[in-house]
Amino acid sequence: MSARVGKVAVIGSGSWGTAMAGLLAARAGEVALWCRDAALADELNATRRNPRHLSSYELPAPVRATHDAADALEGAEVVVLAVPSAYLRPTCARMASLVPPEAPVLVLSKGVELGTHELMLDVAADELGGRGRVAVLSGPNHAEEVCLGKLSAAVLASEDPEVALRLQRLLVSPSFRVYVSQDVTGVEVCGAVKNVVAIACGAAVGFGAGDNTLAVIMTRGLAEIGRVAAALGADPLTPMGLAGMGDLVATCTSRHSRNRTFGEALARGETLEAFEAREHVVVEGARAAESVLALARAHGVEVPITSAVHAVLHDGVDVQEATDMLLGRRPSEEFYGISTQEKESN
């Protein structure tokens, strides 16, 4: 089932971009890893390690770092976008003329663009053209474990089954299971909202919550994902799969999850700015809390967990007050908002 290519360009040298470059090296003659920082590219080539992310991981020989976008993209048969969601549009716009027009584009970024309400595939397609050649990848796959060859799995979604199959063949291995889907919308909604839920889980842990509480937050978070996905016309089964429940469990429970870890720091009183500066990371869930809430409101969808996280991060509400707001809500039907939307669409 595997396939080989001559060159792959990976745009973004964060933890996921670094791990993906290593994963792709098994099937590519060359993996060009684009770094925003020229000094980082030089150090990575000299030491074969990324000093900022996954610093103990030695990159395979086919991986070559570069600060030159033209160098990275020239002759690339596949392009992988691994930049934070807020930087996806400007990065694509800057590199649009350099991306080979026939190359499939795989988006690893997760989120909803603030203002436009667009998902990441839409953002990439806007700037690069050729929506059918763009795919997204999501699932319970922390970079820290993928780079070590530990068993992981993901779902790869594209509106073009041929593009999905081609990329699946490039990525799949005994330790990295890749399943395909055409439900791009559902996969992307799962990837965006689960990061917000993970912040809530982290905050709960920071206040001493037990396993029961985490189970409640995760399952009600899954219902929240389901309502947003249903409102956008996604397949109702997608939130039950790898991109939904699978990634939700990993992100809400793992020590590798920056969103969960940030939630714990938030409970201790640390600000988003301080946490990101200390850890040298972007907390995607903090951005998604704002953009997902705006998207949900535009579609008339209730997202109480997202609303509570947004209130703490952007409205100055105390974490305990936000928790009290959630607990003060009267419980409704377990799957409210999902079955209703499904009936309306039939």
pLDDT tens digit sequence for 32-47: 999 999 999 999 999 9
How many angstroms separate the CA atoms of 222 and 231, rounded? 14
Catalytic residue, from 7, 110, 150, 194: name it. 194
The pTM (predicted TM-score) of the whole model is 0.92
Q: What are the Cα distances from residue 168, in Å, to 188, 194, 217, 242, 260?
A: 17, 23, 32, 15, 29
**pLDDT tops 80 at residue 312:** yes
**pLDDT tops 60 at residue 346:** no
* Helix 319-327 × helix 184-206 angle, to 10°: 110
pLDDT digits over 83-118, tens only? 999 999 999 999 999 999 999 999 999 999 999 999
Where residue 339 falls among pLDDT bands split at 50, 70, 90? low
The whole-number average pLDDT for the span 211-240 is 95
**pLDDT tops 60 at residue 211:** yes
More confident residue, 299 or 345: 299
The whole-number average pLDDT for the span 54-69 is 97
Q: Is 194 a catalytic residue?
A: yes
pLDDT digits over 228-246, tens only? 999 999 999 999 999 999 9
Going by C-alpha positions, the residue among 202, 203, 208, 13 that lies closest to residue 108 is: 13
Going by C-alpha positions, the residue among 140, 188, 181 that lies closest to residue 158 is: 181
**pLDDT tops 70 at residue 342:** no
What percent of the chain lies above the pLDDT cut of 70?
A: 97
Cβ contact 117:126 at 8 Å: no
Q: What are the Cα distances from residue 89, in Å, to 113, 185, 193, 217, 272?
A: 9, 18, 20, 32, 23
Cβ contact 26:2 at 8 Å: no
pLDDT at 3: 75
pLDDT at 343: 39
pLDDT digits over 139-150, tens only? 999 999 999 999
pLDDT at 189: 98
How many angstroms separate the CA atoms of 135 and 127, rounded? 14
Q: Which residues contact 97 (CB under 8 A, 6 or more apart)?
A: none
Q: DSSP state, 243?
A: I
**pLDDT tops 70 at residue 337:** yes
What tokens were used for 36?
Answer: 């925003």
The whole-number average pLDDT for the span 8-16 is 97
Going by C-alpha positions, the residue among 227, 233, 234, 231 that lies closest to residue 197 is: 227
Sheet holding 152-158, edge to edge: 63-66, 28-34, 5-11, 78-81, 105-107, 134-138, 152-158, 176-181
Going by C-alpha positions, the residue among 51, 306, 58 that lies closest to residue 195 is: 306
∠59-61-64 over CA atoms, to 5°?
Answer: 75
CA 199 to chain CA mean position, Å: 14
Where residue 2 falls among pLDDT bands split at 50, 70, 90? low
pLDDT at 109: 97
Going by C-alpha positions, the residue among 160, 102, 113 that lies closest to residue 136 is: 160
pLDDT at 1: 57
**pLDDT tops 80 at residue 188:** yes
